[in-house]
Every structure is written in structure tokens, then in C-alpha cells.
Amino acid sequence: MQLADAAYQERDRLVINHLGLVKKVAVGLVRRLPAQVEMNELIGEGVVGLLDAAIWDLVAKVAGRPLWAELRHRFGGATSERVPIYATCGFYNARDDLDTLRAELRQVLDLGYDCVKIKAGGLPIADDCRRIEDALSVLAGRAALALDCTANGDEGRRRAATFAMGVGLAGALGAAVTGLTDWSETQGESRRTGLVHGLLNITATTLFATSWAMRQRDSHDTGRAAAWAGYAIAIGAAWFGGNLVYDQRIGVTNADAHLPEEFTPVLRSDALAENTMTRARVGKADVLLVRQNGRVCALAHDCAHLGGPLSEGTLKDGSVICPWHGSEFALEDGRVLTGPSTHNQPCLEVRERDGQIEVKAAD
Ligand code: FES
């Protein structure tokens, strides 16, 4: 018997742990949704609460008890076998709302309920008050009235969702400008992928703009449908965007990151004449060496923008210009003097010992 109890408790513990994990994941996912989604009424309506209720329902089923008995078993509390129940009705209707509400209330009274819950909070306050007064007059003291104030269609949420969508659209314009700038300098596969990425984003943004316009005209259902279509397309666009950044390194630094941690000989001192630059290999990285005003400077060789070969660029007094798109970097510390690169060029520490130029990554 004790063994059976132990097995039962172990099964119970595993189910609870497993479902707890599912719930944590669900909560994490909802928290990570973009602000626009969070503001959307469809998502905002207590997804986490629904999951919580569904999980506990499942736990009770696994335990073989009614949910109220399972909760009492775990957390203690009242021991009454009687469970109060109420009837739910009074959902909002587009037409004949009050007539429908009254008919529903009479029906549940006829069924013998002594507590009834109706929706509230989804209409202007005056309209909601009228519904409540009507409900009270029908119930006439024969049943208690409870209000469920989490109704869909709340005006404040709708305004917030429309506002958030407008902010998102303004942000999309900025993102389009920077994306177009990046794309204009790509070639080959990156150019094709960027084109698909851009076209999908334009389609998604057009759908969001349609959604925003529909919401302005109080067509919230159509607006929601357009926004969901936009989200679906934006997910596809995001996949191509991720490919551009992570696989093709567009929009991130292309400068080599494998620079030596310790001083490492890279070139004989006499091989680098005054006011010249050259490419040299150190470990797994290429570096640009420049001698100017008697001093040797070293930068990562591949341009941070799209990997252009800096040693083939133009040497100026105190700077080097990339041959591909003209980004200019200071020799002294690698900072960007002129774009399009938005990333500084990694700079190395340099010393000359025993006729050798030695470099290491800056601390
Ligand atoms: S690769 Fe574009 S500026 Fe260097």
C-alpha cells in the first residue's frame, strides 16, 4: 500500500514538474512577443491564465479527482463537498444586445441557478451600466449577479493596440532606410536574399498599415486579420534577415576577430618602408601594417563593413580608405571617420623588437 502511495506521489510530482516547465516556457514565450503582439487584444486576453487553468485541469484528471478536490488535497482549505456554481451568459452581441441578455437571464433562472455571471467592461460605461441595470431587474433578487470584466473589445486596449501599431509603422520606415542602405552595397547571393527579405518586409508593412487604417475606421476585426497576415509574412522575412546577418554577415562587422592575444612577430621591420602599407599574416588573421611618420600602426585587414581589402585602399595622412565603398578608418585607433561602415576597425598594439614588427590584439 505504501509502495502504491509512493508510486502515485512520484507520478504526481513528475506531472507537476513537467507541466510547470510547459507553463514556464509559455510564460517566457508570451513575454518575448513583440510589443505590438502584446498589445493585441487577442493575445492580451489572459493566455497565461488559460494555460494555468488547463494545466491544473489536466493534473486533476491524472490524479483522478475533480479539480476542486485536487486543489484542496494539495493546498488544504474548506472540506465541504458542496461546490457553488454559477451560470455564465451575457456575452456581447452586435445586435439586440439587451433583448438577448434578458432572454438568457430568464433561461438560467428557469434552470434554477442562483448566481449568474455576465460580461462587462467591453462597452462605453453608460452602455455597460444599462446592461447591468437590466440584468438586475430581470434577476429581481432571485439570483446574485457577478461581472466578468475581462471582455474582448475593450476600448482602451483597442486604442493602445492601434497606437502601438502606429509606432511600429514609424519604426519600420527607419528600418527600411537602413536596410536599403545595407542592401545597396551587397552583391551576388546577399543581394538576392536581401531583395526577398525587403519585398517580404514591404508586404508585411503594407498589411500592418492596412490594419492600422482599418482600426482607425473602427473595423477592428478586419484590422486584426490584416495584422495576423502581416505577422505571418514578417516571420518569413525575419528568417531571410537572420540568414543575411548570421550566414552572410551583412550588417555586422566583417573584420577578423582572430587576432593574437600575445605579441607575435609578423614582418621584418625593414620590409615596411615609410609611408607605405602592406598585408601580413599573423596566426589565423590578416593584418594591415602601415608605417607613417616613423611609427608603425596595425589594423585588422578586412574592412568591418563588408570585408574589403584595406591594403588595396588609399593611404592618407593618419587614415586609410577602403577600396570597396570608401569607409575611412583612423590608423591610430581604427575608429570610423567616414561610413558606410558603422563599425570601427579592430586596432592592434605594435612594437618593434630585434628587427621584427610584433603585434597583438589591443586590450
Ligand atoms: S567593404 Fe565597404 S567600405 Fe569597406
The upper half-sphere exposure of residue 217, i.e. CA atoms within 13 Å in the direction of its Cβ, equals: 10
Pocket of ligand 1 (CB under 6 A): 303, 305-308, 322, 324-327, 340-341
- CA 269 vs. chain centroid, Å, equals 52
pTM for the whole thing?
0.52
Residue 321 CA to ligand 1 centre (angstroms)? 9
How many Å apart are CA 322 and CA 324, to the nearest integer? 6
Assign domain 264-361 to its CATH superfamily.
Rieske [2Fe-2S] iron-sulphur domain (2.102.10.10)
Give the whole-angstrom CA distance, residue 25 versus residue 157: 25
Cis, peptide link before residue 84, omega less than 30° from 0: no
How much distance in Å is there from the Cα of 326 to the middle of ligand 1?
6
Helices (H), 217-337: 220-242
Residue of 325, 336, 343, 345 with the most ligand 1 atoms within 8 Å of its CB, for mutation: 325
Interacting residues of 262 by C-beta distance below 8 A, sequence separation 6+: 360
Ligand 1 atom with the smallest distance to the CA of 303 is 4
Domain ranges of the chain: 1-77, 84-152, 155-247, 264-361
Residue (of 286, 285, 332) closest to 310 by Cα position: 286
Residue nearest to atom 2 of ligand 1 (CA): 325
187, 302, 305, 345, best to mutate for ligand 1 pocket (most atoms within 8 Å of CB): 305
pLDDT in tens, the chain (363 residues): 343 444 445 444 544 454 455 555 555 554 444 444 444 444 555 667 778 888 888 988 888 888 878 888 888 776 666 767 889 888 887 666 788 899 999 999 999 999 999 988 777 788 888 999 999 999 998 999 999 886 556 677 788 888 999 999 999 988 899 888 888 878 888 899 999 999 999 999 999 999 999 998 888 889 999 999 999 999 999 999 888 888 887 777 777 778 888 899 989 999 999 999 999 998 888 999 999 988 999 999 999 888 899 999 999 999 999 999 999 999 999 999 987 888 899 999 999 998 999 999 887
Question: Which set of grid coordinates corresponds to residue 186?
Answer: 551587397
